[in-house]
Chains A and B, each alone.
Chain A
């Protein structure tokens, strides 16, 4: 018999910690994760740590450039807009709307998607094919277009945007979760578990979910980056958040007329949007690569 290493704590790791170890070695993904965490924290704490209120106007400081510019003022690190409002404070508060609400939307989508997807996965026959074909039809419409249609029904507004995004993302979610569940249910260890006498619920919670939750996290990150872009796009199109709400897309739209006069008021929200989507995608991509690597093992 082969010799065992009795005290092999190093290798005695759960699939989750192995995942984390591999993820750590992917540096861009790790940087993405830190930015992601920072943005999440900012989204929750922005109203408390922002130096000024979002609608606080400074009559003496209109259209000030950022402070590193020779005309800038150190009181307003990223400058001010045409009403004398501090750009930094507005952008920090924007994280709550664009990033925070996207997280909420993606979380709700994931939750509903997992429940309905699992249901679709375990149902058979007519019910399953009906659900599938319905989802296939909605999948053929791009999520932003679907969101706009839903907004057209619900009317513009930030909360309606969130609902629209949830409904627009849901079909893909249900579909991917369903595929994962079906794939998992066909595996040998599920039938072995069934032979042990496990009920349907136990098969789902002990057999299927522990083996697909990483995939669900990947789907979540994809949904999140779509949600960020959709919220910002709808805000920019004046269908979502309305000024003076500090949603990044709305800030962009509001200041678009100032682009030659005060480019920082337009450029900075754009840069933030870019960073938010990039970090989310880096994390998602890193996770996907790790998962792919694990399948090769």
Chain B
């Protein structure tokens, strides 16, 4: 079976200024490759500074890789840092929903912007779609008129989810999106995510610290260490028998 999302030999380095004319290169990602099938979840774990968030940003298109390809459904969407702009099939959910939503716009306006920038729908169709999406993530249609400051953290994460889902993406990248929620709200959100996955065959790339969450949600696991793939494979297999030092340390074996 052709995998939905395929990442090949992704490289990314940052250039920092070390002196007046000197530049320092910091290699953040080295030869990252993985595949995600439709309706599957890939979890990415690793220590702080191991390049998880950079990977998420590169996948979603917020940053560009230096080298490597990202393929979606067999089509190349990013090749050596050149991305075709039309592609909105991979959507990113940020870590902190209070900061990733524009405080000056209502939820409806914000979602409307998303749609009008990427689709050819008419105003009525957009309204209908926004209301449909809001109910889909467990919010009410009345929330159309609400401003972000009127929501609690858990609800805001639902709004962020609605924003990601409204363009009918194929892959949703969750960059620590569940870490800031308290356990009960997190459980709700996780159940919501799994339900959406069952309904529409979404694929998730889950970036997190929580091992229990990884075990619960993911089919595959990728362990990053200093920008390199330390271990990659079936989640249960890795949990049962970790091969890399990093994973062994994480699991306290």
Which residues does A use to contact B, with CB under 8 Å? Answer: 1-2, 4, 6, 11-15, 187-189, 191-198, 202, 206-207, 210-211, 297
Contacts and interface: CB of A to CB of B under 8 A. Distances in A.
Contacts of A187: 99
B114 A196 contact: yes
B100 A189 contact: yes
Given A1-B188, A12-B150, A197-B117, A211 B62 contact: no
Given A189-B102, A210-B102, A196 B149 contact: no
B83 to A, nearest CB: 11
Nearest to B154: A2
Given A195-B91, A206-B105, A210-B105, A189 B99 contact: yes
B142 A196 contact: no
B219 to A, nearest CB: 26
B118 A197 contact: yes
Contacts of B34: none
A96 to B, nearest CB: 36
Contact of A197 (B85, B92, B99, B102): B85
A206 B147 contact: no
Given A188-B94, A196-B117, A210-B104, 18 more contacts: A2-B155, A4-B142, A6-B142, A11-B150, A12-B145, A12-B146, A15-B103, A15-B147, A15-B149, A189-B99, A189-B100, A192-B92, A193-B113, A194-B62, A196-B114, A197-B85, A197-B88, A206-B113
B52 to A, nearest CB: 16
A188 B99 contact: yes
A162 B155 CA distance: 51
A223 B88 CA distance: 44
B207 interface: no
Interface string B104-117: 11100000011001
B81 interface: no
A196 B113 contact: yes
Size bracket of the B interface: 20 to 34
Nearest to B142: A6
Contact of B149 (A189, A202, A297): A297
A13 B150 CA distance: 9
Contacts of B91: 195
A120 B146 CA distance: 33
Contact of B60 (A14, A195, A210): A195
Contacts of A191: 62
Q: Of A193, A194, A202, A297, which is in contact with the most chain B CB atoms at under 10 Å from its CB?
A: A193
B82 interface: no
Contacts of A2: 152, 155
14 contacts: A6-B142, A12-B150, A14-B106, A15-B147, A188-B94, A188-B99, A189-B99, A189-B100, A194-B62, A195-B62, A196-B117, A198-B113, A206-B102, A206-B113
B105 A196 contact: no
B101 interface: yes
Contacts of A4: 140, 142
B37 interface: no
B120 to A, nearest CB: 13
A211 B102 contact: yes
B100 A192 contact: yes
B96 interface: yes
Contacts of B145: 12
Interface string B38-78: 00000000000000000000001110000000000000000
A188 B140 CA distance: 25
3 A-B pairs closest in CB distance: A210-B104, A188-B100, A188-B99
Nearest to A8: B150
Nearest to A193: B102
B92 A195 contact: yes
A1 B155 CA distance: 10
A297 B61 CA distance: 32
Q: Of B92, B102, B163, which is in contact with the most chain A CB atoms at under 10 Å from its CB?
A: B102
Given A189-B99, A210-B104, A195 B147 contact: no
A1 B189 CA distance: 11
Nearest to B91: A195
B138 A1 contact: yes
Given A1-B138, A12-B145, A189 B101 contact: yes
B103 A195 contact: no
Contacts of B88: 196-197
A214 to B, nearest CB: 10
Nearest to A7: B142
Q: Of A187, A197, A202, A297, which is in contact with the most chain B CB atoms at under 10 Å from its CB?
A: A197
